[in-house]
Amino acid sequence: MSERLQPGDTAPAFTLSDADGNEVSLAGHAGRKVIVYFYPAALTPGCTKQACDFTDNLDLLAGAGYDVIGVSPDKPEKLAKFREKESLKVTLAADPDKSVLTAYGAFGEKKLYGKVVTGVIRSTVVVDEQGKVEHAWYNVKATGHVAKLIRDLGV
């Protein structure tokens, strides 16, 4: 099981493909705060709600200096369908080998309907302008998480 990140940790560097096959990297956002959120699967009800919540609040978050990147194990083609179907404006990144999910502690054992399974742990990590973890939340709920995040960040 991967280690969960703690505030003050250096955020693991990554470069992934977005929905269009272009590279998205943490380094590409240097000097800005980045909200990296991890979700299990595009085009599922909970993940759709969460992605739509981030899209609806993107201007508010951007105005407060935050970029948003959603990461899932889906392939870029599925992310493109997800973006088009739901009119998403957040950057979606593909991590099919789960290396970034694992590095961020967002892949491992979790409880699902009372059973212990291995999979994506719905998580959100806020990275500061220097690439350090400012906040890390694990096992977050899909619904209401973005509103709570905005409150917690004081946006």
Strand partners, 18: 93
Largest CA distance in the chain: 42
Which one is catalytic: 26, 47, 71, 101? 47
How far is C-alpha 85 from the geometric centre of its chain's CA atoms?
A: 19
How far, rounded to the nearest angstrom, does the alpha carbon of residue 107 sit from its chain's CA centroid?
Answer: 12
Measured CA to CA, the distance from residue 117 to residue 94 in angstroms comes to 22
Whether 47 is catalytic: yes
Q: Does residue 70 contact residue 37 with C-beta atoms inside 8 Å?
A: yes
Catalytically active residues, by annotation: 47
